[in-house]
Structure 1
Amino acid sequence: MIVVLSKNISSHDKDRLRVFLSERGFKVREQVFGDDDILGATGKGSVDIRELSLLPGVERVAQTSKPYELASRETKSEDTIVTIGPVKIGGSRISVIAGPCAIESREQILETAALVRESGAVMLRGGAYKPRTSPYAFQGLGMKGLEYMKEAGEAYGMPIVTEVVSPELAQQMNDLTDMFQIGARNMQNYELLKKVGALGKPVLLKRGPAATIEEWLLSAEYLLSSGTKDVILCERGIRTFETYTRNTLDISAIPVVRKLSHLPVIVDPSHAVGIRAKVSPVALAAIAAGANGLTVEVHPRPEEALSDGPQSLYPEQFEKLMRDIEALAPVVGKELLRTPMPASQSKLVVAGFTTTEVKAEKPQSRSSTETDTQDSIAFSGESGAYADQAIIRAFGEDSKRMSVPSFKAVFDAVLEGKARFGMVPIENSLAGSVHENYDLLIRYPDIAIVGEIKLRIVHCLIGTQDATLDTITTVRSHPQGFAQCREFLDQHPQWKLEPSTDTGGAVASIAREHLTHVAAIAGEVAAQLYGLKVLKEGIETNPLNYTRFFILSRRNKGSETEVPSLLNTGAELPPGFETQVPNKASVVFSTPNEPGALFACLKILSERGINMSKLESRPIPGKPWRYMFYVDITIPEEEKIFDLAMDELKTKTEDFRFLGAYRASL
């Protein structure tokens, strides 16, 4: 039983509650859980819940049907997001942890860190102490190895996670590690769990090879009840009668645990299969099943590894896996987490290789007022709109979102410095382009495109808790929502369609007005946000329904007249996007009113082998029958080719404008 305390509870009332519960046979423990101060009451005591709820200082009482109360979703309905430095695990992001099985030397861990960081890993793993079946196997470098890994993590901006194997070592390792790992062999080492939990650091808890899901969650309960509030569950395969792979990955455990518990779940495909060639397909299956991330073993030369070489990926295999995850992420409604490199980093020469030197300009100082306003991201509509979800995907759940009434207001907010960035839809795979935003890109030359997000759109019919399909007479949504669900709506010709400015606003209006006869077309997130019910899910005409969103930023003064370098679009880049090499650009131009003018422009791209992925025309206001052409271009690997093409294109066009260079969202 969980007793959530009022924010303003007095110490006297708190003491009375502890005595009240103790006298009735409960063991009482106090801790902070998320934003709440709680008293956990365990044991075989008995109490009248109504009487307890009325005591001074009690906000609410949560009674669960599960023995793992703190880990249960009955206690906390929303997903827990664990933060380790710049890394967030849980929610809408896929976070990848990578590194060798064991730290073998300073050179090896630095080299591995450089390689996995370049491919997109956000945390570094490695064993300083290795519990091995054989007493003669390599068991790690101990604290010296941990010092090497800490150095590598700091050099490349990656928090580190390492296994702790005994309560005696926990305190000694505490200052060097960012997250403890409890290995599969120690999942039920309760003294170790209590000691590590009491340190309050995030913990990665692996499932034991013969543990049930309930036993696994009860081990998490030990950690939570001892003091830490950040536990990540890791499925790494269980022991079955099958011998072809090292273990059998229990893929079904992922959705089961996510329903039972609010804690994030990641998967270790390396230990699950133990065979290098099988790691990547199993990893992708885990993401498809709903895992919040992966921990993968990678070694620069697996054939030389002192432990678990056969299951460690080569760097090129890991890079391909990361590309595949990036392509799969939008399908499952998530985004691969990227984090910024350190602001400054010196070159490290290790074992004959040189890392990439990262240089970053010192940010200009801003007043506190500017910082408050520029930290927000503007979007059109109300909370729960798809643009709002795109912001969460790109910037995280704790990002500051600014709701504005129109697309134009998004551009204004960014231009005037009221918002740091803006998020606008530009194209849907079923309904086509959002022409208003194309036109606004022309009207606002001081705004640049600095990023792209692709969001899979799964439309739901949403109503009040009392509503049914039979009670609905009116449906509200953005016109694009109607267009994308045309086949479903055609089955209900009696329904009246009322356009809204955005999908989130359509749902919010029903919640505000308590309309049982009105439904909205929007995403499931909006239904959860406003406490409404999904009447029917997946009503879009085609399941391959995606919307491209542009991230907008204000250009630096004077940059709008030039073609910026590919790594600097002339505007501030979003956090986590600084290390992404742009592979796509958008330009807009008009041509002279003469035969072959557009052909001459496109010929420039063709002759240089530059692929054009989109061409669209829009009327020029005030110039009847004259058009601006929007072009999306794939940036070639050789930057000079692109620069030469842009220089020549400007000589063949009128009013040429470079809208931005960015990394295409797969």
Structure 2
Amino acid sequence: MIIVLKKQISEMQKESIRSFLVEKGYTVKEIVGQEETVFGAVGQSTLDIREVELLEGVANVVPISKPYKLASRELKKEDTIVTVGKVKIGGNRIAIIAGPCAVESREQIMSIAASVREAGAVILRGGAFKPRTSPYAFQGLGEEGLKYLKEAGETYGMPVTTEIVNPSDAPMMTKYIDMFQIGARNMQNFELLKAVGKTGMPVLLKRGLCATIEEWLMAAEYLMASGTDQIVLCERGIRTYERATRNTLDVSAIPVVQKMTHLPVIGDPSHATGLRDMVSPMSLALIASGASGLIVEVHNNPEKAFSDGPQSLYPSQFEKLMRDLHSLSAVVGKSLERIPRIVPESLALNPTASPVSDHLVVAFQGERGAYSELAIRRAFDESTDVLPCKSFSDVFEAVLQGKAAYGMIPLENTLGGTIYENLDLLDRHQAIQVVGEQQIRIIHNLIGLPGSNIGSLREVYSHPQGLAQCTEYLQHELSYAQAIPFFDTAGAVAYVKDAKDPTKAAIAGAPAAKVYGMEILCEGIESNPRNYTRFYIICREERSAVFRSTAAVNRASLRFTVPDRPGSLFAALLVLTKHGLNMKKLESRPIPGKPWEYSFFVETELGESGAFDVALAELSELCLSVRVLGTFTSNL
């Protein structure tokens, strides 16, 4: 049952409720949500819920109808985000687990770990105990393999996961790994599930060969009832009559399971297909269906692999897949998880940076729920605090004054073009550096009060760009409603909420509807679905080196001015060509106080090692002034 607690409940009342339920034979789990706190109580005992409703501090009691209780969406409406080392699986991130099917030697796992880490994998996989169909097949290196796996993970900064076969191995394995794997053949090995659940460690639970979705979730229930709530479900294909592939990948299970449980779901395209050439397209299909990640087999010499060579990608194929996944992630409204993610522990250079808490603070322009806040949530850890600002200039000032460690500013939109104000602010604030970027697909929604009727709407509010980007919908579907410009998309939602008028609506992103408790009346109303905004992450110069250490830098933004003579700009750009630097963006901006004189903003790839530094030295000789606005990692 779900016991919804009153908002003003005291700790004494809470403990009294917990004790009552435990005495009745229930296992109690407290779940703190954004809007309410609940107790999830499960057990074999039968209890009249009216007895619970009468307890002080109880607001409501709701029976859980599903046979799986702790894993059900009824118990917990919000998505669970599983933490494995410094990696998070679930939410708006896509986590990629990669490595060989089996650990064959120290040299082999170290080599593969290096290549998958460089390509962007965040968790290293490798089997030390291999349950095989044939007793004569390679069964793994056992504890020796675990030692190699742990060493490789520590060397390349990745948590590791491997399969457990014997319940008695659980205590020993906890010394070496960060996440257990329960394989398809062991999904209903209930003694194994109990033993692994008691460790409290994260678990990757694969779907059984012929298991229904409910059976799969019941296996997760065993783990949760035994002591762990950090469970990642893995769809790895089911056995059907089809023999063209190793298994039949049930992509449709991903959105179905996400409605049934709060646990994150990933996919295993390697075991699902059994064929190397099918792994990449099925990986994209899994992510498109909503999966929170993938577990992919990669081998540096698949032809000589001890197991599953035909389904293992070459490192070069995996690297291409990661680039494709990065492009797709923005389309599905997510971002690839990276190591290390931007966390406050490693970046707290200024203890006074946060005026609110000890957490990292990131500033943005707009109201809560704005697209800029969505960009922050994809780039930073969940514990990050946000600081809404009235203007872009306020964002820069917040960073300069230490009120925020970082700022998230939009640079350009595929439909609206460059946000010139932010280019000028970057030029003006020389203590500020660009250290990262984030791309967001702009999906506009019609948002109103809960229970509002589209046919009753008379006024629609949004930022002028938001209104312009939804022109077709407004003209054809809402021609009877007046479009009214507002300073901010999320601010428009807040205004409609405060107005409490069902004839008013706003156009904004889905996060704004969630923040203000509003209802999405119509999704995806933008005229052009190829609508993306690219953001810069900015910070004070002294913090930039720490940020950049999180990933390989491959792009630079710079601003320069050239002499007023024929060919001077051409000569400057020729320097980039000469050293193989691929220019990605060029803008001219008027120089304040110097009518008809301009500076130039350039974004360029860094090219081969050392090429940018040499080019920068040559530009300094040719130009009147040169300033590097920042260097950062780009996967666009």
Give the TM-score category using the shorter length: over 0.9
Residue 14 of structure 1, CA deviation? 3.3
* Paired amino acid for 2:185: R
Q: Secondary structure at the match of 1:222?
A: helix
* Mapped partners of 1:16, 1:633: distance in 2: 65
TM-score, normalising length: structure 2: 0.92
User: Could you say which residue in structure 2 is the equivalent of 1:630?
Assistant: 601
User: Could you say which residue in structure 1 is the equivalent of 2:389?
Assistant: 404
Residue 460 of structure 1, CA deviation? 0.5
* Mapped partners of 2:378, 2:128: distance in 1: 34
* Mapped partners of 2:243, 2:333: distance in 1: 35
Counterparts of 1:428-507 in structure 2, within 5 Å, are 428-491=413-476, 492-507=478-493
Higher deviation after alignment, 246-255 or 143-152:
143-152
* Mapped partners of 1:129, 1:240: distance in 2: 27
User: Could you say which residue in structure 2 is the equivalent of 1:514?
Assistant: 500
1:526 aligns with 2:512: yes
Q: Which residue of 8, 11, 16 maps to 1:8?
A: 11
Q: Which residue of 335, 346, 360 maps to 1:375?
A: 360
User: Could you say which residue in structure 2 is the equivalent of 1:596?
Assistant: 567
String of CA shifts for 1:178-225, please: whole Å, max 9, x gaps.
Answer: 111111011111121122112211111000010001111111111112
Q: Secondary structure at the match of 1:296?
A: strand
Q: Secondary structure at the match of 1:180?
A: strand
Residue 147 of structure 1, CA deviation? 1.8
Whether the aligned pair in 2 keeps the contact of 1:373 and 1:419 (CA below 8 Å) is no
Whether the aligned pair in 2 keeps the contact of 1:80 and 1:91 (CA below 8 Å) is yes
Residue 33 of structure 1, CA deviation? 4.7
Higher deviation after alignment, 613-622 or 602-611:
602-611
Change (3 A) 1:58 1:190: farther
* Mapped partners of 1:301, 1:342: distance in 2: 34
Counterparts of 1:86-125 in structure 2, within 5 Å, are 86-125=86-125
Q: Which residue of 563, 571, 576 maps to 2:544?
A: 571
Residue 37 of structure 1, CA deviation? 7.3
String of CA shifts for 1:65-124, please: whole Å, max 9, x gaps.
Answer: 321121111221111100112100001111011111112222222222122111111111
Across the two proteins, how many residue pairs are aligned to each other?
Answer: 625
Whether the aligned pair in 1 keeps the contact of 2:2 and 2:38 (CA below 8 Å) is no
Change (3 A) 1:427 1:366: closer
User: Could you say which residue in structure 2 is the equivalent of 1:651?
Assistant: 621
1:213 aligns with 2:213: yes
* Mapped partners of 2:334, 2:347: distance in 1: 33
Residue 607 of structure 1, CA deviation? 4.1
* Mapped partners of 1:167, 1:256: distance in 2: 31
Q: Which residue of 583, 589, 601 maps to 2:554?
A: 583
Change (3 A) 1:178 1:365: closer
Residue 503 of structure 1, CA deviation? 1.9
Q: Secondary structure at the match of 2:456?
A: coil
Higher deviation after alignment, 282-291 or 304-313:
304-313
* Mapped partners of 2:348, 2:499: distance in 1: 45
Residue 458 of structure 1, CA deviation? 0.7
String of CA shifts for 1:19-65, please: whole Å, max 9, x gaps.
Answer: 5xx4xxxx52234556767352344835245x522312535434233
Whether the aligned pair in 1 keeps the contact of 2:436 and 2:538 (CA below 8 Å) is yes
Change (3 A) 1:78 1:634: same
Change (3 A) 1:203 1:374: closer
Residue 628 of structure 1, CA deviation? 2.4
Q: Secondary structure at the match of 2:352?
A: helix
Q: Secondary structure at the match of 1:310?
A: helix
Change (3 A) 1:454 1:90: same
* Mapped partners of 1:320, 1:437: distance in 2: 33
* Mapped partners of 1:7, 1:110: distance in 2: 53
Residue 341 of structure 1, CA deviation? 10
User: Could you say which residue in structure 2 is the equivalent of 1:354?
Assistant: none
Change (3 A) 1:665 1:464: farther
TM-score, normalising length: structure 1: 0.88
Change (3 A) 1:364 1:340: closer
Residue 498 of structure 1, CA deviation? 3.5
Q: Secondary structure at the match of 1:396?
A: coil
Gaps of 5+ in 2: none
Residue 301 of structure 1, CA deviation? 1.4
* Paired amino acid for 1:179: M
User: Could you say which residue in structure 2 is the equivalent of 1:41?
Assistant: 42
Q: Secondary structure at the match of 1:136?
A: coil
1:30 aligns with 2:15: no
Q: Secondary structure at the match of 2:127?
A: coil
Change (3 A) 1:373 1:187: closer
Q: Secondary structure at the match of 2:83?
A: strand
Change (3 A) 1:37 1:228: farther
String of CA shifts for 1:132-170, please: whole Å, max 9, x gaps.
Answer: 111121111222211221121111111111111122221
Change (3 A) 1:341 1:374: closer
* Mapped partners of 2:630, 2:56: distance in 1: 58
Residue 470 of structure 1, CA deviation? 2.2
Whether the aligned pair in 1 keeps the contact of 2:342 and 2:379 (CA below 8 Å) is no
Percent of aligned pairs with the same residue?
A: 54
CA RMSD of aligned residues (A): 2.5
* Paired amino acid for 2:617: D
* Mapped partners of 1:454, 1:482: distance in 2: 21
Counterparts of 1:324-339 in structure 2, within 5 Å, are 324-339=324-339
* Mapped partners of 1:411, 1:341: distance in 2: 23
Gaps of 5+ in 1: 344-361, 557-569
Change (3 A) 1:572 1:506: farther
Whether the aligned pair in 2 keeps the contact of 1:164 and 1:182 (CA below 8 Å) is yes
Residue 366 of structure 1, CA deviation? 4.6
Change (3 A) 1:530 1:549: same
Q: Secondary structure at the match of 2:247?
A: coil
* Paired amino acid for 2:46: G
* Mapped partners of 1:173, 1:34: distance in 2: 31
